[in-house]
Amino acid sequence: MPTDQIRLLVVEDVPQVAQYIRELVSASPRVKLLEVLRDGRTVPDQVVQQRPDVVLIDALLQGRVGGPELAGQLRQAGLPPAIVLITVPQRPLAVAPERGIDAVLSMPFTGYELINLLQTTFQAQQSRDASAGSLLLGVFAPKGGVGKTTIAFNLAVALQQHVGARTVLVDGSLQFGDLRALLKVPADAPSILDLPTDRIQEADLADVLWRDPSGIDILLAPPRIEMADMVTPRDVEKILSLLRRVYRATVVDLPTNLSDLTLAFLDATDVILQVVTYDSTTIRNTASVAETFRAIGYPATKVQYVLNRADSPGGLDPSLVAATIGHAPEHAIVSDGRLVVEANNQGVPFVLAAPDARISGDVRRMAEAILPLRRPIGAGTSAMTGER
């Protein structure tokens, strides 16, 4: 069975047309028909419950709610599916996404026309969601010990608590689960492996995400090293695509290597926050990674640098970092060893434990500077409300 089927909900009150659509869809492995509904009044609740990718609506729908009216209600409610309206040549309709009409299909139509339109409409909607929906940040460093995980955790908390963006933190260090150790998460806590391997839905997240006391949701790495091999780059793509639909901001704490999995995370990110410190090895590795990113084809705007422990040059010329990356780092965070160690030992974010500390202010300013890089999600976008 294909794992990337389009989930289709049909709203059609003419039995002959409904049966025709059933036959066309059943002949295609690319589409899964969830249900055919006759009454437009039941559709919003069913969309929430069944999470279709596309809703196909008869524009000539009879009853108390007509087809175009229903499409407008779904779009106004901010429900995520793409919407296709069926009409007849005598009743032409114009595509109007703001009114819930993402595409129009005129009867009579063939199976090829139906399936092809469903696919192109769904793919276009996914692209719009990705570009306008949320911000995906990858926190990366080419060397351990530079404070990468601590920064990722505190940045995620600052984005949600200070900036007000619903945020999820992903432990991309799949082998060693750095966030599991930092936050003292129980060994039996769910991880990325508990998500289904075929089609991941929003409802699946509720039982898998760890709700940190700070308020952010966290997708944890597997509890054992060898389990990391069970996650594929395709899994990463599916998971991040779903998180974009649910959260305003997604922060991924990445490992220090450039494996296929790491590159899958990096490819999906809007911005790579690369952490650098006044350390000769880190600076050398930073230069090497910059060359690799250029070879891959990442634009310069995709990478921003975070100078951690910015007030502790350790005997190095402070201008060395700027000379290495070609410009001054976009963000700087001062050192506060005692606060950071105490907060980490307690598994709490220092931005909440000591909000007036200078280091906390630096992280909040970074969060404020980063978030406007993308447009906010519409007010109606769905979000999970389950607590853990």
The type of residue at 313 is P
- DSSP SS3 for 45: helix
pLDDT at res. 164: 87
- Two structure tokens written together for 340: 């950071």
CATH 3.30.70.20 correct for 6-128: no
pLDDT band, very low/low/confident/very high, at 115 (cuts 50, 70, 90): very high
Would you call 360 exposed, middle or buried from its count of C-beta atoms within 10 A (0-12, 13-18, 19+)? buried
Model confidence pTM above 0.75 = no
Q: What is the dihedral of CA 241, 154, 306, 235, to 10 degrees?
A: -20
- Two structure tokens written together for 87: 């009409």
**Dihedrals phi, psi of 271, to nearest 5 degrees:** -135, 135
pLDDT at res. 384: 30
Nearest-angstrom CA–CA distance, 245 and 376: 12
Nearest-angstrom CA–CA distance, 310 and 287: 18
Residue-wise pLDDT for 150-208, tens only, equals 999 999 999 999 988 889 999 999 988 889 889 988 888 999 999 886 667 777 888 89
Mean local confidence (pLDDT), 289-306: 93
Instruction: Check whether the bond before 108 is cis (ω within 30° of 0).
Output: yes
- DSSP SS3 for 271: strand
Nearest residue to 106 (alpha-carbon basis) of 117, 119, 98: 117
Does 373 have pLDDT greater than 70? no
The hierarchical CATH code for the domain 133-373 is: 3.40.50.300
Domain map (residue ranges) of the chain: 6-128, 133-373
**Residue 383 is inside which H or E element, if any?**
none
Nearest-angstrom CA–CA distance, 272 and 132: 18
Nearest residue to 57 (alpha-carbon basis) of 79, 29, 93, 85: 85
pLDDT band, very low/low/confident/very high, at 127 (cuts 50, 70, 90): low
Does 123 have pLDDT greater than 90? no
Nearest-angstrom CA–CA distance, 274 and 285: 11
216 contacts 203 by C-beta, under 8 angstroms: no
Does 234 have pLDDT greater than 90? no
Q: DSSP labels for 246-268?
A: H-SEEEEE--SS--HHHHHHHHH
Does 243 have pLDDT greater than 60? yes
Positive or negative, the CA dihedral 45, 113, 94, 127 is: positive
Q: C-alpha 116: how far from its chain's center?
A: 26
Does 2 have pLDDT greater than 70? no
**Dihedrals phi, psi of 137, to nearest 5 degrees:** -110, 135
User: Roughly how many angstroms between the first and final C-alpha of the chain, as a whole number?
Assistant: 33
- Strands 82-87 and 54-58 come out as parallel
Nearest-angstrom CA–CA distance, 62 and 235: 42
pLDDT band, very low/low/confident/very high, at 365 (cuts 50, 70, 90): very high
pLDDT band, very low/low/confident/very high, at 133 (cuts 50, 70, 90): low
The CA–CA distances, whole Å, from 108 to 30, 35, 60, 89 equal 21, 21, 14, 9
Lowest-confidence segment of 3-7, 13-17, 240-244, 279-283 by average pLDDT? 3-7
pLDDT at res. 343: 96
- 215 contacts: CB under 8 Å, gap ≥ 6: 157, 160, 161
pLDDT band, very low/low/confident/very high, at 369 (cuts 50, 70, 90): very high
